[in-house]
Amino acid sequence: MIASDRIISELEQKLIRSNTSFDSEAFEFLKEYDGPFADLLKENVQVARETGLPLCQDTGIVEFFVFMGHKVCLKEPIGEILEKAVRKVYKSQPYRYSTVVDPLFNRRSRNDNTPPIYHIFSTNGDKLEILFLVKGGGSENLSKLYMLNPSTTSQQIEDIVVDHIRENGARGCPPLNVGIGIGGSADEAIVLSKLALTMSFKERNPIREYAELEEKMLREINSLSIGYQGLGVGITAYSVHIKEFPTHIATLPLAISVDCYLSRKGKIVIEDR
């Protein structure tokens, strides 16, 4: 049985790290950037690392992806554990509470940034793997779902994605990490596109055709020259990742999610031994 305190403790460390330590892969790109405000962006990374202050004032909403082995045993529901972890971090650190009580009629702060959003996937074995994103409002507002004709071609999908970034990318604090979900149902495609954002920039889809489409989309997006923070200099996107899933014969869902230049993400893995 995995103790709740252990999960909370490990998530606490990773959540704090994601808000205060710039993503190592993204930093490799930032080191090469010498355009407008380059010094300030690099100074922000250093200040956050040295002081524990967040990299961005928008400390986001936390979204978890839980892969739970069939032999894993917990003392309490995973949703309660995740909520406790988020509450502990956001109440103890100088982070903004971004979550409101009600989306429409009562948009007052919950004062602890809960509840988090979470998705649970059942797997074999005794391993509990939890991935997460810390999503700011700017990048989240670029999310998009299309229900396409099943005859839609890969070129048409590429055009839709590139046009979406062309029209909206500057609002998401680029360079962006772009996640694409294709197939499943409407909600499955959205989840796939979010899950794609947890991948390393260097990963590619194991299916050759999708990997080639990822690389082609990335080249096209970077040719838009939106640049760092939308200022026209430097790359527009770090990477493009596609996750696909079987779908109904009469549907072709396409979802797009993006992450901002901070690419705040993390993972813990615990075995139930």
What pLDDT does residue 273 have?
77
What is the pTM for the complete model shown? 0.96
Peptide bond into 115 cis (omega under 30): yes
Over residues 202-206, the mean pLDDT reads 97
pLDDT in tens, 225-254: 999 999 999 999 999 999 999 999 999 999
Mean pLDDT of the chain: 97
Beta bridge partners of 127: 271
Of 86 and 272, which is predicted with more confidence? Answer: 86
C-alpha distances in angstroms, 99 versus 64, 117, 145, 169, 260? 15, 11, 23, 24, 19
CB 244 within 8 A of CB 183: yes
Region 99-126 average pLDDT: 96
pLDDT number for residue 154: 98
pLDDT in tens, 141-185: 999 999 999 999 999 999 999 999 999 999 999 999 999 999 999
Q: pLDDT over 70 for what percent of the chain?
A: 100
